[in-house]
């Protein structure tokens, strides 16, 4: 059993949860636990059922995807304050990439079942969390578009 | 009246306007020829009245007039013997003041040594015969653009100085004329040496300068009768009445710029062939490009300046493509420049209402119709353009020597140059140099470091010219002109928190900023450098980056677009480095450099994080050829990027920044 | 060494497909430069001029003519393999040439109408530009190519710079030379506005309208010009179509103009055993 | 080239050149001889057909002039000339005499450019033993330079008159779209005068070349004009009495297709078969009308007879015509006054436009059926090389006898040289020939 106060404090330090009303924060803390991982530890696997949703407090997670012949490509890193495992809440509830801790990691995590139950039973909680998840995902979508433009790619050099 | 303005004691015949019999016009021509001048005047050739070399009155289009309309021109016989009974034709005087082709620079390469020799300017002594009011105005516009400073075109200045102007009052007009609207005519009022008003049997003559007065005194004149004077005034008045006022010039600048998204642009683009005729027949269009040629050895190169047009595809080309890829963008660029941004740049319209672009548009697009359709109302006065004086004529380069070369990333190298033009010692952050090798087009390249007796340039070998530069070895020479352009406003950063956001080779122009800060670190608050690259190996100045963060008190954050497992740094676009950072933007200023799209995203994010547009600065890349605002290629709205930039605040650029096709 | 020429003394080949030989002749017509060109370039294969042959590899290969028979298809692929730099020269190689007019016709009818025994004739239904079959490094437009542009390309090759082949309209060249627009001043239809420059505006200088032998320039607004020519000159649609049905007719957007407006049609060659007008008609 | 396989008792030789070089277009040569008997003699042409006679259908006369020029990059003017004279003849257009002179001048330019090219750059290397003029330049640079000077003078002449030397643009039905100012021609006079001297030197040079033994007396055909050396006017005559208006070619000649042929042979209706057109034919039939300077050069060369009987000597005939072209061009330039009416108006009328002119390589016949709309309904174009093919194959057999004793490589070169003597213009002809000699 963990100290709820420290979890609330940790949540408060993050972009994701800061600004939520104390009640919701406590509600969240009640179903959350802190989580630690060492560099190299695989947190979730691309394509596997997604079981945990979380917020990074310290450290860094690399989101990787396997490209045949090019190997594992890191497409995004998740920094303190940012969320991971949103697939847990969104069908088909499978991880869209592989998450690997690349720096000693501290995170607040929520288990699949507990979080879903809480959200189903508590409209206010749902109303508070979903917009933040949408914002987080939208942010990634925009960033991905920019990445897609490959802005720093060298000019295609013709024979001339 | 001009004649009394002359300082000399008046001679009897000069008391009022004087009369010259048509039979005596040859005397004037002879006087001008005796003065060693080549006469340029109207003559009938290939079914049009063109300006060309003439020897005598016999060469003039006696008894010929013309019919003009949109996309249509025909000469026709007049019922009288008038010598100037036509309206302006296809030729404009810029053929002599600003020729379509002039040699610029001879470049030679001898082993690793290079040298550049400006082509000598040869300006003939000319006399223009038959210059109309709208054409005098056009010469005036050229004077402002090409000789008004801060930079001047030496070739134009020399040619202009050698010309005597004999003007003629318009006694007839074409349906394409609109000098009245542009305030340039039809009355000849200034800018001439002599003016003629043609009457049935001769001319009313007036002097407009000392030179003109001297000529006047040597002509067989008699005082003009009151009837003649009245008649002369009357015909010109009739012309004004006939032309009317087809375009409301008052407030046109703002009306036009307020309509950058008008659907008409797309409609006119369906008719416009973007052939460029309008710009080349225009008496004021001054855009040029430089073409290079070499011999088979490549050791001898010649660069020549030729007329270019904003309607041509290559005109706005940069590495990433053309800034004005769509015909509608090109037409909008031309029209808004002529009737709006030209005012911002030169304090005058670029159009004198001569109507050539209407007559000689092969598909008959009428600029007056377009203006009235796109910009039909009224409003404010323009704001003045920013000007940062530097550097010399477009055709000279100072050879510098390569002291050291340092590979930065695959395909990118930093050259340390020494023996540079002393001007570089006075250079400052954000500026660039025009860099030339014989046979290659000179390129604008940001200065990535200022050394005591030289500079560093960081170059990515993309095209042939940049490859040639990137391939330079120690001891090789290269031609430089500069430093050019304005600075990053470091003074505004003093006492503030500074955010520097950049990507890829975009760090090069900001490197001197960081050097400057480190040199006087205490004057600035927090300095954050957010730097993104494509992959880890594409990060420039890696050793310096480390030093900056470890010992120089710069808060450096790096990110890459994609990386393999070996990379433990951040992956993601540069904006993600700070779009959630907890910071106080109230005292913050931001410098941004990178691909234009990246700068837009960054500016948007910064604004979203509370940094005011007036304190977000970007540096623009545009196709540059001259580097000093004379070639026209790098125009963006009312600015020439090379001369007024390349550093601009988002506030300055307004919604032109990121707008397609500007 | 700052420059990167193709090679110290590039090995050059000159080959032809379906063509009139005029473009390779342009090389021999560089009377002033020819002897110094062969000092800087090693001409290893040029059947029209030399009996010494080489199957490559070539540093630079000039390809004249269009692909218009089955054997051509494999041949160009093979040549591309052996060429570092492949330069197509002339309207046939870059646009399919005048023979591409048959691309609108019924090929079998063509053959049958010319030959009593069409079954002997081997040719493709379409005449196509080289670039439709293999990647091309540079092209010299024109029917024929311009000697000045050929020299520019050769000197660019020796110095490793990009050749200055402008992609603007013919009008630009025309106005720089002070030529009076034949379309505006004489009402002669002219393709100069939609045609790529390079010839030096020969036709307008010689009192004619440009017939587009350098092919469409980038973003050529051929439709706009066609609309204007029909409306302003009230010309029949087919007459406007024929303007585009020239030596580069198969290049877009000229191709669409010909397809939409007409301008080329197949016909019948009177066979040897007499035609409708009788075999002989002597008026002397 | 393959070697010779000698089997017991059988001496079979194969002379095979897969792709003829230094000819205009793509052709091949194959001669198979067993025990001194010619089994196979083939002058193959694997140029692709371009269907010009079809491409002009539905087009206007002026468009035809532009299109048919593209049949050949070396002699475009010839195609423009046969076409324009045919149309003007049908429409009854009376062109300004000065325009007629300019047309001859234009033709002079083409003859000079084409002949200088062939004599020095394509043919001379055979006589002097080089693979190309480029190789020849190493030992005989002045020779090649004078060739280039002449060529340039001719090309420049075409450029002045037509805007460019290949596919000039100014020839129109009724005259020219633009005629030169006097100055333009006068400025070029010096180069032409220099060219004339070089041409005279060329006759001396070629007359001195070693001529391979070769004797036969072919039937020759060309235009002949009472007062002029034939360019674009005169009557079609032959060494055996044919005498027709330039529009009447079809009353004595026809085209026919041979199996395996990609185009058509020309032959006479009288069944006598092969005949020869080109410089040799013209010199034989129209020497009387040569410019005095050319006549003089021909006499000095002393090769009038050899030109008739020895095909290799066509190089001399070509050189003599170089002199004529330069000399006549100078006369025209000196007499030139811009025409009062450079482009006379005309109206189309339906009927047949047919005409023959003298291309550098010989008689070139065009025939167009024009409909009521003034469009081409049908076309027939008979270039010199298709008329020469039969003669070429005959001469190949004649030549065979002369080369059997030579080393194989040398023999092959000699046979190529023979074919080059015709200056075959294969792009023009676009034929496949497959000549089978049955064992006689």
User: pLDDT per residue over B564-602, tens digit each?
Assistant: 888 888 988 888 888 777 788 888 999 999 888 888 889
Chain A neighbors (3+ CB pairs < 8 Å) = B, C
Q: Is B218 on the interface with A (CB under 8 A)?
A: no
Check if the beta carbon of residue D244 is closer than 8 Å to that of residue D252: yes
Q: Is pLDDT at D36 greater than 90 in this prediction?
A: no
In this complex, do C163 and A160 lie within 8 Å of one another by their Cβ atoms? yes
Q: Is pLDDT at B168 greater than 60 in this prediction?
A: yes
Q: What is the pLDDT of residue C271?
A: 35
C-alpha span between D254 and D239 (Å, rounded): 18
In this complex, do B100 and C186 lie within 8 Å of one another by their Cβ atoms? no
Q: Is pLDDT at C2 greater than 50 in this prediction?
A: no
For residue B464, the chain A residue with the least C-alpha distance is A160
Q: What is the mean pLDDT of residues B276-283?
A: 96
Which of A155, A157, A158, A159 is the best residue to mutate to test the C interface, defined by the most C CB atoms within 10 Å of its own CB? A159
Check if the beta carbon of residue B482 is closer than 8 Å to that of residue B433: yes
Q: What is the mean pLDDT of residues C88-93?
A: 97
- Helix, strand or coil for residue C36? helix
For residue C139, the chain A residue with the least C-alpha distance is A160
Cβ neighbours of B464 in A, within 8 Å:
160
C-alpha span between D252 and D354 (Å, rounded): 14
Query: Touch between chain D and chain A (3+ CB pairs, < 8 Å)?
Result: no
**Min CA distance, C151 vs chain A (Å)?**
16
Q: Is pLDDT at D6 greater than 60 in this prediction?
A: no
What's the Cα-to-Cα distance from C238 to each of B223, B278, B575, rounded to whole Å? 64, 29, 57
Mean residue pLDDT across chain D:
88
C-alpha span between B234 and A77 (Å, rounded): 81
Q: Which residue has the higher pLDDT, B323 or D417?
A: D417
Check if the beta carbon of residue B40 is closer than 8 Å to that of residue B53: yes
Cβ neighbours of C275 in D, within 8 Å:
369, 378
What is the per-residue pLDDT across B76-99, written as a single tens digit (0 to 9) for each? 999 999 999 999 999 999 999 999
Q: What is the pLDDT of residue C270?
A: 37
Q: Is pLDDT at D26 greater than 80 in this prediction?
A: no
DSSP for B287-353 reads: -EEEEEEE-TTSSEEEEEEEE--TTSGGGGEETTEETT-SHHHHHHHHHHIIIIIHHHHHSS-S---
Chain B neighbors (3+ CB pairs < 8 Å) = A, C
C-alpha span between B72 and B54 (Å, rounded): 26
**Min CA distance, B273 vs chain A (Å)?**
28
Cβ neighbours of C158 in A, within 8 Å:
none
For residue D434, the chain C residue with the least C-alpha distance is C120
What's the Cα-to-Cα distance from C259 to each of B621, C255, D63, rounded to whole Å? 42, 6, 19
Q: What is the pLDDT of residue C121?
A: 60
Q: Which residue has the higher pLDDT, D99 or B254?
A: D99
In this complex, do B71 and C171 lie within 8 Å of one another by their Cβ atoms? no
What is the per-residue pLDDT across A107-129, written as a single tens digit (0 to 9) for each? 999 998 888 898 889 888 888 88
Return residue ranges of chain D for CATH 1.10.645.10: 52-390
For residue A159, the chain C residue with the least C-alpha distance is C137
Check if the beta carbon of residue D24 is closer than 8 Å to that of residue D427: yes
Check if the beta carbon of residue C169 is closer than 8 Å to that of residue B275: yes
C-alpha span between B522 and B509 (Å, rounded): 22
- Helix, strand or coil for residue B433? strand
Mean residue pLDDT across chain B:
88
What is the per-residue pLDDT across B47-60, written as a single tens digit (0 to 9) for each? 899 999 999 999 99
In this complex, do B320 and A82 lie within 8 Å of one another by their Cβ atoms? no
Q: What is the pLDDT of residue D41?
A: 77
Cβ neighbours of A155 in C, within 8 Å:
none
Q: Is pLDDT at A15 greater than 90 in this prediction?
A: no
Cβ neighbours of C114 in D, within 8 Å:
49, 51, 53-54, 263
In this complex, do A150 and B534 lie within 8 Å of one another by their Cβ atoms? yes
Q: What is the pLDDT of residue D269?
A: 86
C-alpha span between B130 and B42 (Å, rounded): 7
Mean residue pLDDT across chain A:
85
Q: Is pLDDT at B441 greater than 70 in this prediction?
A: yes
Q: Within the 61-80 window of chain B, which residues sit less than 8 Å (CB to CB) from chain C? A: 71-74
Q: Is pLDDT at B12 greater than 60 in this prediction?
A: no
Task: Name the pLDDT band for B4 (thresholds 50, 70, 90).
Answer: very low
Chain D neighbors (3+ CB pairs < 8 Å) = C
Helix (H) / strand (E) containing D390: helix D384-403
Task: Name the pLDDT band for D432 (thresholds 50, 70, 90).
Answer: very low
Q: What is the pLDDT of residue A16?
A: 81
- Helix, strand or coil for residue B567? coil
Q: Lay out the sheet containing D243-244: strands in order across.
A: D221-224, D235-238, D243-244
Q: What is the pLDDT of residue D37?
A: 83
What is the per-residue pLDDT across C107-159, written as a single tens digit (0 to 9) for each? 666 666 666 555 556 677 889 999 999 999 999 999 999 999 999 999 999 88
Q: What is the mean pLDDT of residues B254-264?
A: 89
Nearest to B291 among C164, C192, C219 (CB): C164
What is the per-residue pLDDT across D298-343, written as a single tens digit (0 to 9) for each? 999 999 999 999 999 999 999 999 999 999 999 999 999 999 889 9
Chain A, chain B: beta-carbon pairs less than 8 Å apart: 85
For residue C159, the chain A residue with the least C-alpha distance is A160
Q: What is the mean pLDDT of residues C44-66?
A: 90
Which of D73, D137, D265, D356 is the best residue to mutate to test the C interface, defined by the most C CB atoms within 10 Å of its own CB? D73
CATH number (3.30.450.20, 2.60.120.10, 3.40.50.10860, 3.40.50.80) of B490-619 reads: 3.40.50.80
Q: What is the mean pLDDT of residues B359-370?
A: 95
What is the per-residue pLDDT across D332-363, written as a single tens digit (0 to 9) for each? 999 999 998 899 999 999 999 999 999 999 99
In this complex, do C205 and D432 lie within 8 Å of one another by their Cβ atoms? no
Q: What is the mean pLDDT of residues B153-168?
A: 95
In this complex, do D134 and C49 lie within 8 Å of one another by their Cβ atoms? yes
In this complex, do D247 and C101 lie within 8 Å of one another by their Cβ atoms? no
Q: Is D372 on the interface with C (CB under 8 A)?
A: no
Q: What is the mean pLDDT of residues B515-525?
A: 88
Phi, psi of B444 (to 5 degrees): -80, 120
Cβ neighbours of B304 in C, within 8 Å:
none
What is the per-residue pLDDT across B377-432, written as a single tens digit (0 to 9) for each? 543 333 333 333 344 677 788 889 998 899 998 889 999 998 888 888 888 899 99
CATH no. of D52-390:
1.10.645.10
Q: Is D144 on the interface with C (CB under 8 A)?
A: yes
Q: Which residue has the higher pLDDT, D237 or B534?
A: D237
What is the per-residue pLDDT across B595-637, written as a single tens digit (0 to 9) for each? 888 888 899 889 988 899 999 999 988 878 787 888 888 888 8
Q: Is B321 on the interface with A (CB under 8 A)?
A: no
Q: Within the 82-141 window of chain B, which residues sit less than 8 Å (CB to CB) from chain C? A: 90-91, 95, 100-101, 109, 112
Q: Is pLDDT at C205 greater than 60 in this prediction?
A: yes
Helices C222-232 and B264-271: crossing angle in degrees, nearest 10, is 70
- Percent of chain B surpassing pLDDT 90: 55
- For domain C11-159, the CATH superfamily is NADH:ubiquinone oxidoreductase-like, 20kDa subunit (3.40.50.700)
Chain C, chain D: beta-carbon pairs less than 8 Å apart: 226
Check if the beta carbon of residue D76 is closer than 8 Å to that of residue C23: no
Who's near D379: CB < 8 A, 6+ residues apart?
C269, D52, D53, D54, D56, D57, D64, D366, D367, D368, D369
Q: Which of D203, D343, D337 is nearest to D283 (CA)?
A: D203
Instruction: Among B522-531, D223-232, D279-288, name the one with the lowest average pLDDT.
Output: B522-531
What is the per-residue pLDDT across A42-87, written as a single tens digit (0 to 9) for each? 999 998 999 899 999 999 999 998 887 777 888 899 988 889 998 8
Q: Which residue has the higher pLDDT, D70 or C112?
A: D70
In this complex, do A155 and B463 lie within 8 Å of one another by their Cβ atoms? yes
Any idea which fold A4-149 has?
A: Jelly Rolls (2.60.120)
For residue C243, the chain D residue with the least C-alpha distance is D63
Q: What is the mean pLDDT of residues A13-39?
A: 87
Q: What is the pLDDT of residue C281?
A: 33
Instruction: Among B74-88, B500-514, B580-594, D99-113, name the one with the lowest average pLDDT.
Output: B580-594
C-alpha span between C250 and A20 (Å, rounded): 67
Task: Name the pLDDT band for B482 (thresholds 50, 70, 90).
Answer: confident
Q: Which residue has the higher pLDDT, B276 or D30?
A: B276
Q: Is pLDDT at C211 greater than 80 in this prediction?
A: yes
In this complex, do A159 and C137 lie within 8 Å of one another by their Cβ atoms? yes
Query: Touch between chain B and chain C (3+ CB pairs, < 8 Å)?
Result: yes
**Min CA distance, C240 vs chain D (Å)?**
12
Cβ neighbours of B594 in A, within 8 Å:
151-152
Task: Name the pLDDT band for D140 (thresholds 50, 70, 90).
Answer: very high
Chain C neighbors (3+ CB pairs < 8 Å) = A, B, D
Q: What is the pLDDT of residue D429?
A: 60
∠ CA(B419), CA(B424), CA(B429), 5° rounding?
Answer: 135
Q: Is pLDDT at D222 greater than 80 in this prediction?
A: yes
Q: What is the pLDDT of residue D49?
A: 79
Q: What is the mean pLDDT of residues B63-70?
A: 96
Q: Within the 207-236 window of chain C, which residues sit less than 8 Å (CB to CB) from chain B? A: 207, 217-221, 223-225, 227-228, 232
Task: Name the pLDDT band for C32 (thresholds 50, 70, 90).
Answer: very high
In this complex, do D48 and C98 lie within 8 Å of one another by their Cβ atoms? no
Q: What is the pLDDT of residue C129?
A: 96
Q: Is pLDDT at D264 greater than 90 in this prediction?
A: no
Nearest to C172 among B73, B309, B364 (CB): B309
Cβ neighbours of A150 in B, within 8 Å:
534, 561
Task: Name the pLDDT band for B123 (thresholds 50, 70, 90).
Answer: very high
Q: Is pLDDT at A160 greater than 90 in this prediction?
A: no
For residue B111, the chain C residue with the least C-alpha distance is C1
In this complex, do B291 and C175 lie within 8 Å of one another by their Cβ atoms? no
In this complex, do A151 and B576 lie within 8 Å of one another by their Cβ atoms? no
Nearest to C171 among B276, B467, B472 (CB): B276
Architecture of the CATH domain B398-484 = Beta Barrel (2.40)
In this complex, do A159 and C163 lie within 8 Å of one another by their Cβ atoms? no
């Amino acid at each position: 059993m963990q100290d709820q106060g420290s979890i609330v404090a940790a949540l408060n330090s993050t972009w994701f949860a800061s600004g939520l009303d104390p009640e919701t924060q406590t509600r969240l803390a009640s179903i959350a636990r802190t989580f630690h991982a060492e560099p190299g530890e695989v947190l979730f696997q691309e394509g596997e059922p997604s079981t945990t949703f979380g917020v990074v407090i310290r450290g860094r997670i690399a989101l990787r995807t396997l490209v045949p012949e090019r190997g594992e490509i890191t497409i995004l890193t998740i920094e303190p304050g940012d969320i991971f495992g949103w697939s847990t809440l969104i069908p088909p509830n499978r991880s869209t990439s592989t998450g690997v801790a690349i720096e000693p990691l501290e995170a607040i995590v929520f288990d699949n079942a507990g979080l879903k139950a809480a959200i189903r039973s508590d409209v206010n909680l749902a109303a508070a969390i979903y917009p933040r998840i949408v914002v987080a995902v939208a942010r990634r979508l925009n960033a991905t578009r920019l990445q897609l433009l490959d802005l720093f790619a060298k000019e295609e050099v013709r024979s001339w | 009246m001009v004649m009394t303005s002359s300082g000399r004691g008046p001679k009897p015949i000069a008391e009022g306007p004087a009369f010259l019999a048509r039979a005596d016009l040859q005397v004037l021509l002879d006087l001008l020829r005796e003065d060693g001048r080549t006469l340029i005047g109207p003559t009938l050739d290939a079914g049009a009245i063109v300006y060309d070399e003439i020897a005598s009155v016999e060469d003039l289009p006696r008894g010929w007039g013309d019919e003009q309309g949109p996309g249509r021109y025909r000469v026709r016989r007049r019922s009288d013997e008038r010598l100037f009974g036509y309206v302006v034709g296809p030729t404009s005087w810029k053929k002599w003041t600003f020729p379509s082709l002039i040699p610029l620079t001879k470049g030679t390469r001898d082993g690793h040594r290079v040298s550049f020799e400006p082509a000598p300017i040869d300006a003939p002594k000319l006399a223009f015969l038959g210059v109309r009011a709208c054409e005098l105005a056009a010469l005036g516009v050229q004077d402002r653009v090409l000789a008004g400073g801060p930079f001047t075109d030496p070739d134009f200045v020399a040619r202009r100085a050698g010309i005597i102007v004999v003007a003629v009052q318009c006694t007839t007009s074409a349906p394409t004329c609109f000098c009245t609207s542009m305030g340039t005519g039809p009355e000849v009022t200034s800018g001439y040496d002599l003016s003629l008003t043609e009457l049935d049997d001769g001319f009313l003559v007036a002097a407009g300068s000392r030179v003109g007065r001297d000529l006047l005194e040597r002509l067989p004149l008699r005082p003009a009768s009151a009837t003649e004077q009245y008649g002369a005034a009357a015909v010109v008045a009739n012309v004004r009445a006939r032309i009317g006022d087809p375009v409301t010039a008052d407030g046109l600048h703002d009306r036009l710029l307020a309509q950058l998204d008008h659907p008409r642009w797309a409609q006119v683009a369906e008719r416009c062939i973007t052939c460029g005729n309008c710009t080349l027949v225009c008496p004021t269009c001054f855009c040029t490009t430089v073409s290079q040629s070499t011999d088979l050895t490549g050791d001898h190169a010649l660069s020549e300046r030729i007329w270019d047009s904003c309607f041509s595809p290559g005109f706005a080309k940069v590495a990433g493509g053309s800034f004005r890829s769509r015909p509608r963008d090109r037409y909008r660029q031309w029209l808004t420049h002529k009737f709006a941004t030209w005012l911002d740049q030169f304090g005058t319209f670029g159009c004198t209402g001569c109507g050539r672009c209407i007559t000689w548009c092969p598909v008959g697009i009428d600029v007056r119709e377009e203006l009235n359709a796109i910009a039909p109302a009224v409003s404010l006065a323009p704001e003045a353009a920013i000007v940062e004086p530097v550097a010399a004529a477009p055709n000279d380069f100072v050879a510098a020597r390569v002291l050291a070369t340092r590979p930065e990333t695959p395909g990118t190298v930093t050259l340390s140059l020494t023996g540079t033009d002393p001007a570089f010692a006075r250079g400052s952050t954000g500026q660039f140099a025009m860099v030339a090798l014989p046979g290659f087009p000179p390129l604008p390249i940001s200065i990535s470091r200022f050394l005591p007796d030289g500079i560093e340039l960081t170059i990515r070998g993309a095209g042939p010219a940049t490859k040639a530069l990137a391939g330079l070895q120690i001891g090789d020479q290269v031609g430089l002109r500069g430093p050019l352009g304005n600075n990053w406003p470091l003074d505004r950063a003093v006492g503030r928190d500074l955010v520097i956001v950049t990507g890829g080779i975009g760090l090069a122009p900001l490197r001197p900023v960081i050097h400057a800060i480190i040199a006087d670190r205490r004057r600035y608050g927090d300095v954050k450098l957010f730097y993104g690259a494509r992959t880890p190996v594409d990060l420039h100045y890696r050793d310096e980056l480390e030093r900056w963060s470890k010992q120089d008190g710069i808060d450096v954050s790096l990110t890459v677009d994609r990386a393999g497992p070996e990379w433990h740094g951040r992956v993601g676009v540069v904006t993600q480095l700070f779009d959630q950072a907890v910071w106080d933007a109230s005292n913050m200023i931001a410098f941004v450099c990178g691909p234009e799209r990246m700068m837009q995203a960054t500016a948007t994010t910064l604004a979203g994080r509370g940094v005011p547009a007036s304190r977000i600065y970007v540096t623009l890349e545009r196709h540059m050829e001259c580097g000093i605002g004379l070639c026209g290629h790098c125009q963006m709205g009312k600015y020439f990027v090379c001369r007024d930039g390349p550093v601009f605040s988002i506030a300055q650029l307004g919604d032109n920044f990121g707008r397609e096709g500007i | 060494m700052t420059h990167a020429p193709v090679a110290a003394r590039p090995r050059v080949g000159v080959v032809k497909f379906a063509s009139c030989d005029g473009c390779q002749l342009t090389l021999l017509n560089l009377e002033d430069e020819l002897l110094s060109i062969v000092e800087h370039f090693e001409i290893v294969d040029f059947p029209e001029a030399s009996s010494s042959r080489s199957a490559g590899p070539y540093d630079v290969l000039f390809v004249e003519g269009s692909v218009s028979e089955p054997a051509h298809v494999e041949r160009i692929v093979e040549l591309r393999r052996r060429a570092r730099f492949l330069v197509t020269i002339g309207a046939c190689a870059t646009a399919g040439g005048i023979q591409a007019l048959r691309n609108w016709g019924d090929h079998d009818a063509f053959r049958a109408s010319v030959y009593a025994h069409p079954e002997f004739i081997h040719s493709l239904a379409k005449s196509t530009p080289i670039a439709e079959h293999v990647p091309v490094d540079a092209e010299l437009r024109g029917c024929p190519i311009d000697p000045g542009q050929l020299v520019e390309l050769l000197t660019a090759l020796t110095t490793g710079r990009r050749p200055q082949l402008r992609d603007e309209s013919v009008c630009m060249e025309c106005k720089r030379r002070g030529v009076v627009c034949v379309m505006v001043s004489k009402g002669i239809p002219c393709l100069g506005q939609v045609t790529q420059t390079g010839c030096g505006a020969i036709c307008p200088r010689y009192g004619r309208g440009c017939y587009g032998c350098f092919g469409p320039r980038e973003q050529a607004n051929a439709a706009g010009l066609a609309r204007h020519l029909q409306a302003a000159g009230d010309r029949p649609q087919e007459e406007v179509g024929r303007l585009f049905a020239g030596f580069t007719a198969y290049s877009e957007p000229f191709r669409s103009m010909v397809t939409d407006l007409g301008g080329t049609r197949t016909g019948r060659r009177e066979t040897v055993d007499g035609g409708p007008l009788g075999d002989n008609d002597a008026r002397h | 080239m393959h070697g010779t396989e000698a089997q017991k008792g059988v001496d079979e030789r194969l002379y095979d050149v897969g792709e003829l070089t230094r000819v205009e277009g793509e052709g091949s040569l194959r001669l198979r001889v067993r025990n001194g008997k010619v089994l196979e003699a083939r002058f193959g042409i694997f140029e692709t057909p371009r269907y010009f006679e079809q491409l002009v259908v539905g087009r206007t006369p002026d468009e035809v002039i532009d299109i048919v020029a593209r049949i050949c990059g070396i002699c475009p003017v010839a195609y423009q000339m046969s076409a324009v004279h045919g149309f003007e003849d049908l429409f009854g257009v009376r062109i300004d005499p000065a325009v007629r002179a300019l047309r001859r001048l234009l033709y002079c330019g083409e003859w000079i450019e084409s002949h200088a090219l062939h004599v020095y750059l394509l043919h001379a290397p055979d006589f002097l033993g080089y693979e190309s003029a480029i190789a020849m330049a190493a030992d005989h640079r002045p020779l090649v330079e004078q060739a280039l000077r002449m060529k340039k003078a001719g090309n420049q002449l075409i450029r002045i008159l037509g805007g460019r030397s290949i596919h000039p643009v100014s020839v129109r039905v009724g005259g020219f779209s633009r005629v030169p100012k006097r100055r333009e021609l006068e400025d070029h006079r010096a180069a032409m005068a220099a060219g004339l001297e070089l041409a005279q030197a060329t006759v001396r040079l070629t007359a001195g070349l070693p001529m391979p033994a070769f004797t036969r007396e072919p039937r020759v055909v060309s235009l002949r004009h009472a007062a002029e050396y034939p360019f674009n006017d005169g009557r079609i005559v032959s060494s055996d009495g044919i005498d027709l208006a330039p529009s009447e070619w079809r009353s004595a000649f026809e085209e026919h297709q041979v199996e395996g042929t990609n185009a058509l042979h020309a032959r006479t209706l009288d069944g006598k078969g092969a005949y020869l057109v080109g410089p040799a034919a013209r010199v034989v039939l129209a020497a009387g009308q040569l410019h005095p300077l050319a006549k003089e050069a021909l006499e000095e060369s002393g090769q009038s007879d050899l030109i008739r009987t020895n095909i290799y000597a066509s190089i001399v005939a070509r050189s003599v015509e170089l002199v004529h072209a330069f000399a006549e061009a100078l006369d025209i330039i000196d007499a030139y006054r811009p025409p009062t009416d450079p482009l006379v108006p005309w109206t189309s009328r339906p009927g047949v436009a047919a005409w023959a002119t003298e291309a550098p390589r010989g008689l070139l016949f065009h025939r167009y059926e024009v409909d009521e709309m003034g469009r081409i309904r049908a076309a027939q174009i008979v270039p010199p090389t298709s008329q020469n093919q039969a003669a070429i194959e005959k001469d190949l057999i004649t030549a065979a006898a002369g080369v059997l004793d030579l080393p194989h490589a040398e023999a092959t070169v000699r046979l190529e040289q023979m074919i080059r003597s015709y200056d075959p213009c294969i792009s023009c002809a676009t034929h496949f020939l497959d000549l089978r000699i049955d064992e006689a």
